Amino acid sequence: MSKEIQNTAKKLFNIDKPLAITMWDFSWIERRWPGAGFEDWDKALSELTQRGYDAVRIEAYPQLVAKDISKEWTLKPVWNTQDWGSPSINKIKLKDDFREFLSACRRHGVRVALSSWFREDMDNTRMEIKTPKQHAEIWIKTLDYIKEWGELDNILYVDLCNEFPLGLWIPFLGGEEEEPRTSALASNWMKEAVSVFKEAYPQIPVTFSYTVPYPDVNEDVSFLDFLEVHIWMAQVSDYYDKVGYHYERFDDIGYTNMALKGKQIYMENEQHYMQCLVDGIVKLAQWSKNSGKPLITTECWAVVDYKDGPLLEWEWILDLNRLGVETAAALGCWAGIATSNFCAPQFVGMWREEKWHHKMTDTIHRSWE
Protein backbone atom coordinates (compact mmCIF):
# COMPACT_ATOMS: atom_id res chain seq x y z
CA MET A 1 0.00 0.00 0.00
CA SER A 2 2.87 2.41 0.76
CA LYS A 3 4.13 2.02 -2.82
CA GLU A 4 0.73 3.05 -4.16
CA ILE A 5 0.73 6.11 -1.91
CA GLN A 6 4.27 6.96 -3.01
CA ASN A 7 3.28 6.70 -6.67
CA THR A 8 0.34 9.00 -6.01
CA ALA A 9 2.65 11.48 -4.29
CA LYS A 10 5.16 11.41 -7.14
CA LYS A 11 2.49 12.42 -9.64
CA LEU A 12 0.71 14.87 -7.36
CA PHE A 13 3.79 16.86 -6.32
CA ASN A 14 6.08 16.08 -9.27
CA ILE A 15 8.77 14.59 -7.05
CA ASP A 16 10.94 11.50 -7.18
CA LYS A 17 11.71 11.35 -3.45
CA PRO A 18 10.18 12.76 -0.25
CA LEU A 19 10.84 16.43 0.44
CA ALA A 20 12.48 17.82 3.56
CA ILE A 21 10.16 20.73 4.31
CA THR A 22 10.10 23.45 6.92
CA MET A 23 7.54 25.94 8.18
CA TRP A 24 8.48 29.61 7.87
CA ASP A 25 4.89 30.68 8.58
CA PHE A 26 4.50 34.47 8.70
CA SER A 27 8.07 34.91 9.94
CA TRP A 28 9.42 35.16 6.38
CA ILE A 29 8.08 38.71 6.06
CA GLU A 30 7.29 39.79 9.63
CA ARG A 31 10.69 39.02 11.17
CA ARG A 32 12.92 41.39 9.21
CA TRP A 33 14.26 43.64 11.94
CA PRO A 34 17.97 43.29 12.86
CA GLY A 35 18.60 39.88 14.40
CA ALA A 36 15.13 38.52 13.65
CA GLY A 37 16.37 35.91 11.15
CA PHE A 38 14.85 36.96 7.84
CA GLU A 39 16.58 40.26 7.11
CA ASP A 40 18.36 38.62 4.15
CA TRP A 41 16.24 36.06 2.32
CA ASP A 42 19.14 34.81 0.21
CA LYS A 43 21.18 34.12 3.34
CA ALA A 44 18.30 32.31 5.06
CA LEU A 45 17.51 30.22 1.98
CA SER A 46 21.17 29.42 1.37
CA GLU A 47 21.49 28.16 4.95
CA LEU A 48 18.28 26.15 4.51
CA THR A 49 19.51 24.34 1.42
CA GLN A 50 22.93 23.80 3.01
CA ARG A 51 21.08 21.81 5.66
CA GLY A 52 19.41 19.69 3.01
CA TYR A 53 15.89 21.14 2.86
CA ASP A 54 13.86 21.33 -0.34
CA ALA A 55 10.71 23.27 0.54
CA VAL A 56 9.15 25.90 2.80
CA ARG A 57 5.57 26.40 3.94
CA ILE A 58 4.66 30.06 4.35
CA GLU A 59 1.80 32.42 5.10
CA ALA A 60 0.48 33.93 1.87
CA TYR A 61 -1.94 36.44 3.47
CA PRO A 62 -4.61 35.64 0.84
CA GLN A 63 -7.29 37.87 2.35
CA LEU A 64 -4.91 40.84 2.25
CA VAL A 65 -3.56 40.05 -1.20
CA ALA A 66 -7.10 39.79 -2.57
CA LYS A 67 -8.29 42.95 -0.82
CA ASP A 68 -5.40 45.21 -1.87
CA ILE A 69 -2.00 43.76 -2.68
CA SER A 70 -0.43 47.24 -2.91
CA LYS A 71 -1.53 48.43 0.54
CA GLU A 72 0.74 48.65 3.58
CA TRP A 73 -1.00 46.47 6.15
CA THR A 74 -0.71 46.91 9.91
CA LEU A 75 -0.79 43.56 11.74
CA LYS A 76 -1.62 42.84 15.36
CA PRO A 77 0.58 40.29 17.17
CA VAL A 78 -0.97 36.87 17.59
CA TRP A 79 1.25 36.44 20.68
CA ASN A 80 4.30 37.88 22.41
CA THR A 81 5.49 34.64 24.01
CA GLN A 82 6.54 32.91 20.77
CA ASP A 83 9.30 33.51 18.22
CA TRP A 84 7.14 32.95 15.16
CA GLY A 85 6.21 36.19 13.46
CA SER A 86 6.25 39.48 15.30
CA PRO A 87 5.83 39.84 19.09
CA SER A 88 4.40 43.33 18.66
CA ILE A 89 2.56 45.44 16.13
CA ASN A 90 4.10 45.36 12.68
CA LYS A 91 3.60 46.55 9.10
CA ILE A 92 4.07 44.65 5.86
CA LYS A 93 3.85 45.39 2.14
CA LEU A 94 3.02 42.32 0.11
CA LYS A 95 3.17 43.20 -3.58
CA ASP A 96 6.92 43.46 -4.06
CA ASP A 97 8.02 41.42 -1.05
CA PHE A 98 5.84 38.40 -1.84
CA ARG A 99 7.03 38.34 -5.43
CA GLU A 100 10.68 38.81 -4.43
CA PHE A 101 10.53 36.03 -1.83
CA LEU A 102 9.02 33.59 -4.32
CA SER A 103 11.73 34.56 -6.79
CA ALA A 104 14.42 33.99 -4.16
CA CYS A 105 13.02 30.54 -3.41
CA ARG A 106 13.23 29.66 -7.10
CA ARG A 107 16.87 30.84 -7.26
CA HIS A 108 17.75 28.51 -4.41
CA GLY A 109 15.77 25.54 -5.72
CA VAL A 110 13.25 25.65 -2.90
CA ARG A 111 9.62 24.68 -3.55
CA VAL A 112 6.98 26.82 -1.83
CA ALA A 113 3.86 25.58 -0.05
CA LEU A 114 1.28 28.27 0.65
CA SER A 115 -0.86 28.35 3.76
CA SER A 116 -2.69 30.90 5.88
CA TRP A 117 -3.00 31.54 9.58
CA PHE A 118 -5.34 34.41 8.65
CA ARG A 119 -3.38 37.03 10.51
CA GLU A 120 -5.38 39.85 12.06
CA ASP A 121 -4.81 43.31 10.62
CA MET A 122 -6.11 46.55 12.17
CA ASP A 123 -9.32 46.34 10.08
CA ASN A 124 -9.74 42.61 10.76
CA THR A 125 -10.12 42.02 7.02
CA ARG A 126 -10.33 38.24 7.48
CA MET A 127 -13.82 38.64 8.98
CA GLU A 128 -15.12 39.81 5.59
CA ILE A 129 -14.99 36.16 4.50
CA LYS A 130 -18.54 34.87 4.95
CA THR A 131 -18.74 31.76 2.75
CA PRO A 132 -16.51 28.91 1.59
CA LYS A 133 -16.80 30.29 -1.94
CA GLN A 134 -15.28 33.60 -0.78
CA HIS A 135 -12.61 31.61 1.07
CA ALA A 136 -11.65 29.88 -2.17
CA GLU A 137 -11.86 33.08 -4.21
CA ILE A 138 -9.26 34.96 -2.16
CA TRP A 139 -6.89 32.05 -2.78
CA ILE A 140 -7.69 32.02 -6.48
CA LYS A 141 -6.89 35.72 -6.72
CA THR A 142 -3.63 35.14 -4.83
CA LEU A 143 -2.60 32.44 -7.30
CA ASP A 144 -3.62 34.69 -10.18
CA TYR A 145 -0.94 37.13 -9.03
CA ILE A 146 1.60 34.33 -8.64
CA LYS A 147 0.78 33.09 -12.12
CA GLU A 148 1.22 36.63 -13.47
CA TRP A 149 4.66 36.77 -11.83
CA GLY A 150 5.71 33.49 -13.47
CA GLU A 151 6.09 31.64 -10.18
CA LEU A 152 3.13 29.25 -10.28
CA ASP A 153 5.15 26.21 -11.34
CA ASN A 154 7.22 26.42 -8.14
CA ILE A 155 4.17 26.23 -5.86
CA LEU A 156 4.17 22.85 -4.13
CA TYR A 157 0.62 23.01 -2.77
CA VAL A 158 -1.99 25.24 -1.18
CA ASP A 159 -3.25 24.70 2.37
CA LEU A 160 -6.49 26.69 2.46
CA CYS A 161 -6.30 27.16 6.24
CA ASN A 162 -3.76 26.25 8.88
CA GLU A 163 -5.01 23.68 11.39
CA PHE A 164 -8.63 23.88 10.36
CA PRO A 165 -10.99 24.57 12.10
CA LEU A 166 -9.22 26.06 15.15
CA GLY A 167 -10.90 29.35 16.00
CA LEU A 168 -7.56 31.12 16.45
CA TRP A 169 -6.80 30.60 12.75
CA ILE A 170 -10.25 30.72 11.15
CA PRO A 171 -12.46 32.92 13.36
CA PHE A 172 -14.81 33.63 10.47
CA LEU A 173 -16.03 30.02 10.34
CA GLY A 174 -18.20 29.61 13.40
CA GLY A 175 -17.92 32.82 15.39
CA GLU A 176 -17.21 32.34 19.08
CA GLU A 177 -18.06 28.65 19.04
CA GLU A 178 -15.25 26.43 17.79
CA GLU A 179 -16.50 23.82 15.36
CA PRO A 180 -15.27 20.22 15.43
CA ARG A 181 -13.72 19.22 12.11
CA THR A 182 -16.34 16.56 11.50
CA SER A 183 -19.32 18.89 12.05
CA ALA A 184 -21.58 19.55 9.07
CA LEU A 185 -20.53 23.21 9.00
CA ALA A 186 -16.78 22.47 8.95
CA SER A 187 -17.02 19.51 6.58
CA ASN A 188 -19.27 21.28 4.07
CA TRP A 189 -17.09 24.40 4.23
CA MET A 190 -14.00 22.41 3.31
CA LYS A 191 -15.70 20.51 0.51
CA GLU A 192 -17.14 23.63 -1.14
CA ALA A 193 -13.94 25.67 -0.78
CA VAL A 194 -11.86 22.86 -2.31
CA SER A 195 -14.35 22.41 -5.15
CA VAL A 196 -14.34 26.10 -6.08
CA PHE A 197 -10.55 26.29 -5.84
CA LYS A 198 -10.06 23.20 -8.04
CA GLU A 199 -12.26 24.65 -10.76
CA ALA A 200 -9.75 27.48 -11.15
CA TYR A 201 -6.49 25.64 -10.40
CA PRO A 202 -6.98 21.88 -10.87
CA GLN A 203 -3.22 21.35 -11.26
CA ILE A 204 -2.35 22.71 -7.79
CA PRO A 205 -2.55 20.15 -4.94
CA VAL A 206 -4.89 21.49 -2.26
CA THR A 207 -5.74 20.56 1.31
CA PHE A 208 -6.68 21.86 4.74
CA SER A 209 -4.00 21.19 7.34
CA TYR A 210 -5.11 19.41 10.51
CA THR A 211 -3.87 19.02 14.03
CA VAL A 212 -5.02 16.69 16.81
CA PRO A 213 -7.42 15.26 17.70
CA TYR A 214 -7.51 12.55 15.05
CA PRO A 215 -10.51 10.63 16.41
CA ASP A 216 -11.06 8.25 13.52
CA VAL A 217 -8.59 7.07 10.89
CA ASN A 218 -11.61 6.46 8.63
CA GLU A 219 -12.63 10.14 8.68
CA ASP A 220 -13.67 11.22 5.18
CA VAL A 221 -10.86 13.09 3.43
CA SER A 222 -11.81 12.08 -0.10
CA PHE A 223 -12.15 15.73 -1.17
CA LEU A 224 -8.54 16.56 -0.21
CA ASP A 225 -5.59 15.85 -2.50
CA PHE A 226 -3.43 14.83 0.46
CA LEU A 227 -3.24 14.98 4.26
CA GLU A 228 -1.23 17.79 5.89
CA VAL A 229 -1.17 16.73 9.52
CA HIS A 230 0.59 18.18 12.55
CA ILE A 231 1.48 16.01 15.51
CA TRP A 232 3.55 16.38 18.67
CA MET A 233 4.36 14.19 21.64
CA ALA A 234 2.99 17.00 23.82
CA GLN A 235 -0.44 16.74 22.19
CA VAL A 236 -0.79 12.96 22.16
CA SER A 237 0.09 12.52 25.83
CA ASP A 238 -0.47 14.06 29.25
CA TYR A 239 2.83 15.92 29.01
CA TYR A 240 1.55 19.50 28.90
CA ASP A 241 -0.89 18.85 31.76
CA LYS A 242 1.98 17.51 33.85
CA VAL A 243 4.18 20.50 33.02
CA GLY A 244 1.49 23.15 33.35
CA TYR A 245 1.75 24.54 29.83
CA HIS A 246 -1.53 25.75 28.31
CA TYR A 247 -0.59 27.69 25.15
CA GLU A 248 -0.49 31.04 26.89
CA ARG A 249 -0.10 33.71 24.21
CA PHE A 250 0.52 36.83 26.30
CA ASP A 251 1.60 35.37 29.66
CA ASP A 252 4.98 33.83 30.56
CA ILE A 253 3.63 31.32 33.08
CA GLY A 254 3.62 28.48 30.53
CA TYR A 255 7.25 29.05 29.60
CA THR A 256 8.19 29.44 33.27
CA ASN A 257 6.78 25.98 33.88
CA MET A 258 8.52 24.61 30.80
CA ALA A 259 11.85 26.07 31.92
CA LEU A 260 11.53 24.68 35.43
CA LYS A 261 9.89 21.31 34.75
CA GLY A 262 9.76 20.59 31.01
CA LYS A 263 12.87 18.48 30.55
CA GLN A 264 12.62 16.85 33.96
CA ILE A 265 9.06 15.56 33.46
CA TYR A 266 9.95 14.22 30.03
CA MET A 267 13.11 12.45 31.22
CA GLU A 268 11.34 10.88 34.22
CA ASN A 269 9.02 9.02 31.85
CA GLU A 270 10.98 9.15 28.60
CA GLN A 271 10.00 5.75 27.20
CA HIS A 272 6.32 6.43 27.78
CA TYR A 273 6.44 9.77 25.98
CA MET A 274 8.47 8.35 23.13
CA GLN A 275 5.91 5.57 22.70
CA CYS A 276 3.05 8.09 22.70
CA LEU A 277 4.70 9.87 19.77
CA VAL A 278 5.40 6.65 17.87
CA ASP A 279 1.82 5.42 18.37
CA GLY A 280 0.46 8.74 17.11
CA ILE A 281 2.62 8.65 13.98
CA VAL A 282 1.63 5.05 13.25
CA LYS A 283 -2.04 6.06 13.49
CA LEU A 284 -1.50 8.81 10.93
CA ALA A 285 0.16 6.33 8.58
CA GLN A 286 -2.87 4.08 8.94
CA TRP A 287 -5.11 7.02 8.03
CA SER A 288 -2.98 7.54 4.93
CA LYS A 289 -3.30 3.89 3.95
CA ASN A 290 -7.04 3.77 4.62
CA SER A 291 -7.67 6.88 2.54
CA GLY A 292 -5.00 6.36 -0.12
CA LYS A 293 -3.81 9.91 0.51
CA PRO A 294 -0.11 10.84 0.86
CA LEU A 295 0.94 12.63 4.03
CA ILE A 296 2.91 15.82 4.55
CA THR A 297 3.83 17.03 8.02
CA THR A 298 5.28 20.53 8.47
CA GLU A 299 4.78 21.02 12.23
CA CYS A 300 5.76 18.22 14.49
CA TRP A 301 7.28 15.75 16.82
CA ALA A 302 8.40 17.05 20.24
CA VAL A 303 6.61 20.01 21.81
CA VAL A 304 4.33 22.51 20.09
CA ASP A 305 5.94 25.67 21.48
CA TYR A 306 9.60 26.29 22.28
CA LYS A 307 12.29 28.93 21.87
CA ASP A 308 15.78 29.92 22.93
CA GLY A 309 15.86 31.02 26.55
CA PRO A 310 17.21 30.38 30.02
CA LEU A 311 16.80 26.75 31.12
CA LEU A 312 15.26 25.81 27.77
CA GLU A 313 17.66 23.15 26.53
CA TRP A 314 17.53 21.82 22.96
CA GLU A 315 19.22 18.41 23.27
CA TRP A 316 16.14 16.47 24.37
CA ILE A 317 13.97 18.30 21.84
CA LEU A 318 16.37 17.34 19.05
CA ASP A 319 16.43 13.73 20.18
CA LEU A 320 12.64 13.45 20.23
CA ASN A 321 12.44 15.14 16.84
CA ARG A 322 14.91 12.58 15.49
CA LEU A 323 12.59 9.81 16.71
CA GLY A 324 9.67 11.45 14.93
CA VAL A 325 11.54 11.82 11.65
CA GLU A 326 12.86 8.27 11.70
CA THR A 327 9.48 6.78 12.61
CA ALA A 328 7.62 8.66 9.86
CA ALA A 329 10.33 7.93 7.31
CA ALA A 330 10.22 4.18 8.03
CA LEU A 331 6.45 4.03 7.39
CA GLY A 332 6.80 5.24 3.81
CA CYS A 333 3.55 7.26 3.60
CA TRP A 334 5.02 10.76 3.74
CA ALA A 335 5.71 12.92 0.68
CA GLY A 336 7.15 15.69 2.85
CA ILE A 337 8.59 15.56 6.35
CA ALA A 338 9.66 18.39 8.63
CA THR A 339 12.22 18.05 11.38
CA SER A 340 10.18 20.29 13.71
CA ASN A 341 8.35 23.60 13.62
CA PHE A 342 11.51 25.34 14.90
CA CYS A 343 13.60 24.83 11.77
CA ALA A 344 14.20 28.51 11.03
CA PRO A 345 17.00 31.04 11.64
CA GLN A 346 15.39 32.68 14.68
CA PHE A 347 15.56 29.41 16.66
CA VAL A 348 19.34 29.50 17.07
CA GLY A 349 19.60 26.43 19.32
CA MET A 350 18.17 24.27 16.55
CA TRP A 351 19.38 26.14 13.46
CA ARG A 352 23.05 25.88 14.46
CA GLU A 353 22.98 22.04 14.60
CA GLU A 354 24.00 21.59 10.96
CA LYS A 355 25.18 17.97 11.27
CA TRP A 356 21.89 17.00 12.91
CA HIS A 357 19.94 18.64 10.09
CA HIS A 358 21.99 16.79 7.46
CA LYS A 359 21.31 13.44 9.15
CA MET A 360 17.58 14.19 9.31
CA THR A 361 17.23 15.43 5.74
CA ASP A 362 19.24 12.45 4.46
CA THR A 363 16.85 10.14 6.33
CA ILE A 364 13.86 11.93 4.81
CA HIS A 365 15.22 11.78 1.27
CA ARG A 366 15.95 8.04 1.54
CA SER A 367 12.63 7.07 3.10
CA TRP A 368 11.14 5.64 -0.11
CA GLU A 369 14.15 3.47 -0.92
Domains and CATH numbers, the chain: 2-365 (3.20.20.80)
Mean pLDDT along residues 315-324: 98
Check whether 180 has a pLDDT greater than 90: no
Res 323: pLDDT = 98
- On whether the CB atoms of residues 86 and 75 are closer than 8 A, the answer is yes
Q: Tell me the pLDDT tens digit for each residue of 270-306.
A: 999 999 999 999 999 999 999 999 999 999 999 999 9
Q: If pLDDT is split at 50, 70 and 90, which confidence band does 68 have?
A: very high
Distance CA 8, CA 12 (A): 6
Q: Tell me the pLDDT tens digit for each residue of 9-42.
A: 999 999 999 999 999 999 999 999 999 999 999 9
Check whether 219 has a pLDDT greater than 70: yes
Distance CA 363, CA 30 (A): 31
Check whether 93 has a pLDDT greater than 90: yes
pLDDT higher at 213 or 143: 143
- Given CA atoms 160, 165, 168, 171 in this order, what sign does their dihedral have? positive
Res 299: pLDDT = 98
Listed in order, strand segments (DSSP E) in 53-116 are 55-59, 72-75, 90-93, 111-115
Res 213: pLDDT = 75
Mean pLDDT along residues 132-140: 98
CA 102, chain centre distance (Å): 17
SS3 210: strand
Q: If pLDDT is split at 50, 70 and 90, which confidence band does 215 have?
A: low
Least confident of 85-89, 183-187, 211-215, 223-227: 211-215
| Sheet containing 227-229: order of strands | 206-207, 155-159, 111-115, 55-59, 19-25, 334-337, 295-297, 227-229, 209-210
Res 214: pLDDT = 73
Res 212: pLDDT = 82
Check whether 77 has a pLDDT greater than 70: yes
Average pLDDT, the chain: 96
Res 169: pLDDT = 95
Which residue from 4, 213, 208, 7 is spatially nearest to 113, judged by alpha carbons? Answer: 208
Check whether 267 has a pLDDT greater than 70: yes
